[in-house]
Structures are given as C-alpha cells and as structure tokens.
C-alpha cells in the first residue's frame, strides 16, 4: 500500500492520460491511495439541485477516476464546480471531514473531496499514517472568459471562515504536519519560482496566497504539493508543482534533480 500524488486532470480521468506509464512508481495495487492537487472537475456539469443524479458527462469522468484500483482523494481547484462539491454528502474519514463523490464499497474504491482547512491522517500501508493538511481553491485568471454558475464560481477562492478553520486546525496540532496538499502556491514560493525563471509573473496575489505565506512561516512540514500551474517541477527541496507526473508522497517531481519542465 502506498500514497501517490498528481496534478490537475480537468475531467480527463486518469487512465487515458497514462499517468502510471509517465512515472516511475511501478504498478499500483488495490490498496493504494491517489491524491490529486485540484482541478479534477469530476462534478463539473452536475448542479446541486440534480443530486444525487449525476450528469452523463460526470458519470464518464467518475468512471475514468475509478478505472484504476485505488482510492482517490482530491482538493478542489479553481476549475471545479464548488456549489456541487458543497452539496454532496459528507462523513468523517482519516480524522477529517470529506465530501463523498463515490462511497467505497465491495465493487469500487472511493472518491472523496478533501475539504478546505482539514487535516487527515492517511494510512501509509506500513502500519503508520501520514498527516496531510488540505486547502483547495485558487483564483481563475481566465474568469473574464467564463460564465458565472456555468464554468466559474466566486467560491473558487476560500472564504475567510474556511481560512480561519484551517488556521485553527493547524494551531491545535502545534503547527506540525507531514505534507501540505493545495491547488495554489504561497506568495513566497511563487516569487521564488519567478526569480529563478521557473514560472511567469503572477497576474495577482490574493488573500489565499498571503495566508499561505503566514502558514509557511509557522508550519513544520516535509513537502508541499500543489497543482494549478500545468507544470511538473520542484521549486526547491520542499515545494513541488505537479501536472502530468505521479509521484509517491514525499518524493520530488523530477527524480534526476532537474527542476525545470
């Protein structure tokens, strides 16, 4: 049993993009867990009023997510239908609250939304667990070309209440976790990447990125994984952006030490 991490899939499923073949992790087992760093879009065209019935599009996306024999956990990105994710049933799992996209049963592994500001203790298959802080959301730089309520929602950015919830969870844990899973990066990480020519100049710096700065200053963690930027690169020894690559949790995106795309 192992825990893997990957980046945005934008409703494309996993098997069609050959994520396992693009990585060096080897074959997965039916006891493995995959964590996706946002922009999953597994409930993209299903509206809250239609639940529990899913749209044909979302049924197909979910089939792709469950085509491989692992449990799928994900934070939301900016390109996710946030009102629908808020409307799905919830339960406690791994010590935190999750949204149930597909409940685990004898036939299928589960698909669960890791809710904003929660901390989870995910079994690592070796008799222990890893502690993960999750915070989805980000600003859409293309929102001017999108339609509110169809493919863009103001709630893509975490609210002050959600940030306060995350702050409280981390404070109660003494500001110590193993890993951080987000969609967006902190301002500090973003500026570091820009100064080294790894990412273009950011179009904005918002309250979420500013709060991530304050988290970085206080939090003890091994590695911070994020999506959003459609690249696979290591900003430094503790910050990794993922897109196509699939890595075992704790490992960098680029095993040969080359931090560029």
Closest-CA residue to 75 (of 30, 110, 42): 42
Q: Is 176 a member of any domain?
A: yes
For the cut 90, the answer to whether the pLDDT of residue 225 exceeds it is yes
pLDDT of residue 80: 96
Strand pairing category for 96-102 and 111-114: antiparallel
Q: Is 257 a member of any domain?
A: no
User: Which tens digit of pLDDT belongs to each residue from 237-256?
Assistant: 999 999 988 889 999 987 54
Q: Is 258 a member of any domain?
A: no
CB-CB contact of 129 with 121 (8 Å)? yes
Closest-CA residue to 57 (of 13, 27, 16): 13
Distance CA 238, CA 222 (A): 6
Tell me, what CATH number does 24's domain have? Answer: 3.60.21
Q: Is 68 a member of any domain?
A: yes
Q: Is 259 a member of any domain?
A: no
Q: Which domain holds residue 52?
A: 3-248
Distance CA 92, CA 100 (A): 10
User: Which tens digit of pLDDT belongs to each residue from 30-89?
Assistant: 668 999 999 999 999 999 999 999 999 999 999 888 877 789 999 999 999 999 999 999
Q: Is 256 a member of any domain?
A: no
User: Which tens digit of pLDDT belongs to each residue from 169-204?
Assistant: 999 999 999 999 999 999 888 877 777 667 766 657
Q: Is 254 a member of any domain?
A: no
Q: For the chain, how many structural domains are there in total?
A: 1
Sheet holding 129-135, edge to edge: 118-123, 129-135, 179-182, 223-226, 239-241, 233-236
Q: Is 188 a member of any domain?
A: yes
- H/E element, 33: strand 33-36
Residue 235 CB neighbour total at 10 angstroms: 22
Q: How far is CA 3 from the centre of its chain?
A: 13
Residue 55 CB neighbour total at 10 angstroms: 15
- Strand-pair partners of 43: none
């Amino acid at each position: 049993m192992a825990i893997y991490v990957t980046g945005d899939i934008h409703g494309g499923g996993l098997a069609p993009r050959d994520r396992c073949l693009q990585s060096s992790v080897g074959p997965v087992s039916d006891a493995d867990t995959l964590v996706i760093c946002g922009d999953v879009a597994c409930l993209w065209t299903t509206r809250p009023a239609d639940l529990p019935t899913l749209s044909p599009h979302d049924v197909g996306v979910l089939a792709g997510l469950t085509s491989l024999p692992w449990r799928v956990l994900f934070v939301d990105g900016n390109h996710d239908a946030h009102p629908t994710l808020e409307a799905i049933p919830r339960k406690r799992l791994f010590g935190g609250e999750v949204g149930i996209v597909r409940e685990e049963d004898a036939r299928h592994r589960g698909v669960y939304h890791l809710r904003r500001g929660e901390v989870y203790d995910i079994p690592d298959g070796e008799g222990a667990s890893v502690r993960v802080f999750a915070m989805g959301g980000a600003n859409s730089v293309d929102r001017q070309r999108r339609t509110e309520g169809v493919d863009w929602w103001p709630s893509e950015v975490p609210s002050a209440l959600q940030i306060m919830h995350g702050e409280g969870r981390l404070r109660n844990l003494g500001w110590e976790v193993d890993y951080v899973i987000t969609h967006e990066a902190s301002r500090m990480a973003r500026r570091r990447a820009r100064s080294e020519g790894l990412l273009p100049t950011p179009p904005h710096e918002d309250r979420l990125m500013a709060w991530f700065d304050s988290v970085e200053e206080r939090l003890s963690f091994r590695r911070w994984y994020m999506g959003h930027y459609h690249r696979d690169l290591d900003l430094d020894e503790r910050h990794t952006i993922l897109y196509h690559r699939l890595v075992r949790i704790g490992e960098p995106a680029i095993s040969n030490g080359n931090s560029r795309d």
